[in-house]
Structure 1
Amino acid sequence: MSLLAHVPRQAALRQVALRRTPASSRFLTSEESVPFSYKSKPVFAAKVVGYLVAGFSIPFVAAYYQLSKSGGSS
């Protein structure tokens, strides 16, 4: 057989291979909504709130520092 006779067959096999998805990836689910365990929900909530407040306040603290450094704020 010539090389040209193999081309359509190889292209068809590639298309079939690309359409297949492994069964393990289709049915992959997580039992937990967070990737770690926590023992106390109130303590976890306090830590999350503290983390978010600290992250949100960084630009304001930086702006205050820059203004106070230049003498623009009291």
Structure 2
Amino acid sequence: MQSILARSPLLRQQALRGAQRVQVRLAHGVHGPEQAVPFSFASKPAFATKVAAYLIGGFSIPFVAAIYQLQKSGAGA
């Protein structure tokens, strides 16, 4: 005797779909680092300059804030 879950139409459909699966390989051409990121490496020096400016700007924010707070309080000379 089968259980109620084994006789469920939804489970039967899932079992049938699982038996009919066919593996499909998706190949769209040449893949490389240019396709793995959402931006272009057309000009590497320009890209390097932008990345450096972004990283330096983000790193310097706490230091700029600390200097500003010290000057505002009069503790910084």
TM-score range, shorter chain: 0.5 to 0.7
Higher helix share: 1
**Equivalent position of 2:48 in the other structure:** 45
Q: Note the residue ranges of structure 2 that are not aligned, 5 or more in a row.
A: 18-22
Quote the offset at 1:7 in angstroms: 2.6
Aligned length: 68
Q: Within 2, Cα distance between the matches of 1:51 and 1:6?
A: 60
Q: Note the residue ranges of structure 1 that are not aligned, 5 or more in a row.
A: 18-22
Q: Could you list the structure 1 runs, at least 4 aligned residues long, displaced by more than 2 angstroms after superposition.
A: 7-10
- Matched ranges for 1:62-73 at <5 A: 62-73=65-76
Q: Within 1, Cα distance between the matches of 2:54 and 2:40?
A: 17
Quote the offset at 1:37 in angstroms: 1.4
